[in-house]
Amino acid sequence: MSDLHGLYQEVILDHNKRPRNFGKLEGADRQADGYNPLCGDKVTIFIKMDGERISDIRFVGSGCAISTASASLLTESLKGKTRAEAEEMFERFHNLVMGKGTKGIRNALLGKLAVFSGVSEFPARVKCATLAWHTFKSALEGSAQTATTE
């Protein structure tokens, strides 16, 4: 089961059971819905901006352990970040779960998000990890369409 522990690291299992920043965000200026038609995972991300900075971010939704933990850790790591920093994190996270680039570069600046490095070994689960991030991006861009991982 060693591969499984690579995928479901303790931090992921913990965030799945106790998702942080879960619930609607009153007074959000942006929000977007995400949907993965393959597994039925749904997520809604709420953002409150203070100029260029994300002053608050929360989510609601239902999904598997990977997608729930991904949304939870996303909100934790993006709160207080600027738009540019958040976009940079999006790229890095994407590269991480797609297994692109060298490990050192991938993990730099990702902090806790590095726990998703095992996902790249499970191609069928990559979209579970990226759903919240695609949804976040649509919310940030103010796109009205439901984000998908397709």
Partner 1 sequence: MATTQLAATTTSQGIFQTQFDPYKVREDFPILKQKVHGKPLVYLDNAATAQKPNVVVKAMRRFYTRDCSNIHRGVHTLSERSTKAYEDVRVKVQRFLNAADPREIIFTRGTTESINLVATSLGRKYIQKGDEIIISGMEHHSNIVPWQLLCEDKGAVLRVIPINDAGEIIFEEYEKLLNPRTRLVSIVHVSNVLGTINPVQRIIQTAHRMNVPVLLDGAQAAPRLRVDVQELDCDFYAFSGHKLCAPTGVGVLYGKAKHLESMPPFMGGGDMISSVTFARTLYNTIPYKFEAGTPNIGGTIGLGAALDYLNELGLENLARYEGELLCYTLGKLSEIPGVRILGNTPHRAGAVSFVLDGVHPHDVGTILDQEGIAVRTGHHCAQPLMERFGVPATVRASLAFYNTKEDIDRLAAGINKVKEFMS
Alpha-carbon distance of 90 to 134, in angstroms, equals 8
E-only strand ranges, the chain: 30-36, 41-50, 53-62
Residue among 47 and 117 whose Cβ is closer to partner 1? 117
* Shortest separation between residue 84's beta carbon and partner 1, angstroms: 33
Alpha-carbon distance of 109 to 27, in angstroms, equals 30
Which residue ranges make up the site for partner 1 (CB under 8 A)? 1, 3-4, 7-8, 13, 38-42, 62-66, 68, 122, 124-125, 128
Say if residues 80 and 69 touch (Cβ distance below 8 Å).
no
Residue among 30 and 125 whose Cβ is closer to partner 1? 125
In single-letter form, the type of residue at position 3 comes to D
Within 8 A by CB and 6+ apart from 108, the residues are 92
Residue among 55 and 62 whose Cβ is closer to partner 1? 62
Residue among 68 and 75 whose Cβ is closer to partner 1? 68
Residue among 22 and 122 whose Cβ is closer to partner 1? 122
Q: Is 70 exposed, middle or buried (0-12, 13-18, 19+ CB in 10 A)?
A: buried
* Shortest separation between residue 113's beta carbon and partner 1, angstroms: 19
* Shortest separation between residue 132's beta carbon and partner 1, angstroms: 14
* Shortest separation between residue 35's beta carbon and partner 1, angstroms: 10
* Structure tokens belonging to residue 140: 């940030």
* Shortest separation between residue 99's beta carbon and partner 1, angstroms: 17
